[in-house]
């Protein structure tokens, strides 16, 4: 079990493994986001904490990191949300070549961006783009543990078409009194006719929560948002060891 402030490293309680997996599903979640479902071999055991990520190992030796978007691996399935980077080595492959039953290899799990079971502070979860993937896993974990504290998700995207799994989020809002969701757009199209929150997602949090000393914040997605959110939230009283983040930095190759 992971305590607040603890850092999970490769020496953590979970064994890092290299495993083959088979593509068992490809689903277009949004115009530029593919949901990829990977099936782990039945004989293999793979444990991870909700919020962690794996490295997909490419044939040429390069690797690309992707957050696991589901908390529980039902029937050995891992869910990834992959944003299309035009010309990108792996994401282009996913959008143009990869098909069901193809084999991939991965190594993991990695990362310290995990649900803090022991914290009783209310949680604010902040995502941009596919930064929603590990946050979805954290929320599933919190719900499965019957966490009763407030969980407020802010998800920032450029345009309305970039959101996905909204039915799931709306369903969670109906099902769980302690969960709320605020979508935020930074560059809405005229056709969006957007009447909701506008601007940077971290600014939307600040507008609603002027004082953050009593909170945990989980932030995931663009490195710019993750860095900016840390700076502005700590100015508003958030303790740095109550700020948990996962920045989707570019691969170094």
Q: Tell me which residue has tokens 């508003």.
A: 236
What is the spatial order of strands in the sheet that 63-67 belongs to? 63-67, 53-57, 103-110, 17-30, 33-39, 77-83
Cis peptide before 109 (omega within 30 of 0): yes
Q: How far is the CB of 200 from ligand FAD (least distance, A)?
A: 16
Question: Applying CB under 6 A, which part among 19-27, 62-70, 190-198, 201-209 lies near ligand FAD?
Answer: 62-70
Query: Considering only residues 29, 35, 64, 128, which one is a binding residue for ligand FAD as defined by CB under 6 A?
Result: 64
What phi and psi values does residue 191 have, to the nearest 5 degrees?
A: -70, -15
Stretch that binds ligand FAD, among 90-98, 114-122, 154-162, 224-232 (CB under 6 A): 90-98
Which residue among 35, 48, 83, 164 contacts ligand FAD (CB under 6 A)? 83
Q: Would you state the structure tokens that stand for residue 70, as one six-digit string?
A: 């589901």
C-beta of 150: minimal distance to ligand FAD in Å? 25
CB atoms within 10 A of CB 248: 21
Q: Would strands 53-57 and 179-185 be described as parallel, antiparallel, or unpaired?
A: unpaired
CB contact at 8 A, 156 and 206: no
- Using rule CB under 6 A, residue 179 touches ligand FAD: no
The one among 87, 167, 190, 195 contacting ligand FAD by CB under 6 A: 87
Q: What whole-number distance in Å separates Cα of residue 122 and Cα of residue 208? A: 14
Min CB(19)–ligand FAD separation in Å = 18
- Count each helix (H run) and each strand (E run) in the chain, helices first: 5, 12
Query: What tokens does 250 get?
Result: 């570019």
Q: Minimum CB separation from ligand FAD for residue 194, in Å? A: 24
Question: Per CB under 6 A, does 153 bind ligand FAD?
Answer: no
Q: What is the arrangement of strands in the sheet containing 179-185, beginning at the earlier edge strand?
A: 197-198, 179-185, 151-157, 123-128, 216-221, 243-247
Stretch that binds ligand FAD, among 59-67, 99-107, 120-128, 157-165 (CB under 6 A): 59-67
- Identity of the residue, 12 or 65, whose beta carbon is nearer to ligand FAD in the bound complex: 65
Interface with ligand FAD (CB under 6 A), residue from 36, 46, 50, 81: 81
Contact footprint for ligand FAD (CB under 6 A): 53, 64-67, 81-83, 85, 87-92, 130, 133, 246, 248-251
């Amino acid at each position: 079990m992971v305590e607040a402030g603890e850092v999970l490293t490769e020496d953590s309680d979970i064994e890092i493994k290299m495993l083959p997996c088979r593509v068992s599903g490809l689903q277009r979640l949004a115009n530029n986001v593919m949901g990829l479902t990977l099936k782990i071999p039945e004989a293999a055991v793979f444990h991870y904490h909700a919020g962690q990520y794996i490295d997909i190992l490419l044939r040429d030796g390069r690797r690309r990191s992707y957050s696991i978007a589901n908390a529980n691996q039902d029937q050995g399935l891992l869910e990834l949300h992959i944003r299309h980077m035009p010309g990108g080595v792996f994401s282009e492959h996913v959008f143009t070549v990869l098909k069901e039953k193809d084999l991939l290899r991965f190594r993991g799990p990695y990362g310290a961006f995990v649900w803090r079971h022991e914290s009783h502070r209310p949680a604010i979860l902040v995502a941009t783009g596919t930064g929603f993937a590990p946050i979805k896993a954290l929320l599933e974990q919190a719900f499965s543990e019957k966490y009763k504290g407030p969980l407020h998700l802010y998800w920032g995207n450029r345009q309305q078409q970039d959101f996905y799994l909204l039915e799931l989020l709306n369903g969670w809002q109906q099902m769980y009194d302690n969960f709320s969701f605020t979508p935020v757009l930074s560059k809405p199209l005229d056709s969006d006719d957007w009447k909701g929150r506008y601007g940077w997602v971290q600014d939307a949090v600040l507008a609603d929560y002027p004082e953050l000393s009593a909170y945990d914040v989980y932030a995931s997605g663009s490195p710019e948002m993750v860095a900016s959110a840390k700076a502005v939230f700590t100015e508003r009283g958030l303790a740095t060891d109550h700020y948990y983040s996962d920045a989707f930095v570019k691969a170094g190759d």
